[in-house]
């Protein structure tokens, strides 16, 4: 579980779709409940947006009263705001500094449309989205075979790096005249004067 003041890292479209599918299956999501917030211009929002996304005018942040009903609801229920669109990173940072749990979504609406057409379709079908997600996850580059092969390459590289480090000569310790070896060998929790 995330702490109140912990900054959340950005996510990509695949992660968001996974969260949507988990929420639809009534499984717990790592960030808890979340609202999807679109900060594009209103004309872009009207043309195309992620299904279930709420519009938020990013220009409201410069005003004294910037809360909308969605922000008020998110504040009272400690719901995470997943923000995407133009200047989403800046909007996410400002709202985080003002007390909301925020995370921004990398990419743009064209990328979402390309990867998951069901995510931006007005006739939303959760089964179609699940099918697209499973197909993407199990393709040649993202399936079990690729993940296990890449994990094998990573562990091989780590073993090689550790062998190279152990083969290097260790530098000799040089002690100054004011520090005795007894002081260096002491456990860190014991005081210097004992």
10 Å Cβ neighbour count for 106?
14
pLDDT in tens, 120-143: 888 888 888 888 888 887 774 555
At residue 29's C-alpha, the angle toward residues 28 and 33, to 5°, is: 95
The topology (CATH level 3) of 13-128 is Oxidized Rhodanese; domain 1 (3.40.250)
Number of H helices, E strands in the chain: 8, 4
- Mean pLDDT, to the nearest integer, of 79-107? 91
Query: Sheet of 34-38: strands edge to edge?
Result: 54-55, 34-38, 80-84, 102-104
Q: What is the pLDDT of residue 40?
A: 93
Q: What percent of the chain has pLDDT over 90?
A: 25
Spatial contact of 83 and 31, defined as CB atoms under 8 Å apart: no
Spatial contact of 48 and 113, defined as CB atoms under 8 Å apart: yes
- The per-residue pLDDT of the chain, averaged, comes to 77
pLDDT in tens, 55-66: 999 988 888 788
In the DSSP assignment, the letter for residue 105 is B
Query: Would the pLDDT of 181 be above 70?
Result: no
Query: Would the pLDDT of 113 be above 70?
Result: yes
Sign (positive/negative) of CA torsion 147, 149, 153, 158? positive
Query: Would the pLDDT of 41 be above 70?
Result: yes
Structure tokens at 67: 């809360």
Q: Where are the domains of the chain?
A: 13-128
Structure tokens at 135: 């197909």
Question: 137 CB contacts (<8 Å, ≥6 apart)?
Answer: 14, 143
Q: What is the pLDDT of residue 94?
A: 92
* Across 1-10, 82-91, 93-102, 173-182, least confident range: 173-182
């Amino acid at each position: 579980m995330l702490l109140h003041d912990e900054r959340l890292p950005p996510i990509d479209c695949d992660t968001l779709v996974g969260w949507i599918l988990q929420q639809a299956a009534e499984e717990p999501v790592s960030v808890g409940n979340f609202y999807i917030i679109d900060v594009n211009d209103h004309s872009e929002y009207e043309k195309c947006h992620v299904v279930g996304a709420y519009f938020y005018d990013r220009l409201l942040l410069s005003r004294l009263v910037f809360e909308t009903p969605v922000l008020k609801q998110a504040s009272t229920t400690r719901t995470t705001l997943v923000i995407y669109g133009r200047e989403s990173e800046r909007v996410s940072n400002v709202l985080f500094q003002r007390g909301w749990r925020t995370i921004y979504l990398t990419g743009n609406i064209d990328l979402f449309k390309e990867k998951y057409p069901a995510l931006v379709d007005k006739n939303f079908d959760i089964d179609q989205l699940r099918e697209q997600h499973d197909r993407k996850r199990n393709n040649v580059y993202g399936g079990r075979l690729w993940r296990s092969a890449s994990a094998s390459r990573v562990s091989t590289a780590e073993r090689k790096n550790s062998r190279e480090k152990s083969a290097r000569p260790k530098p000799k310790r040089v002690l100054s005249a004011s520090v005795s070896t007894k002081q260096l060998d002491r456990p860190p929790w014991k005081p210097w004067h004992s």
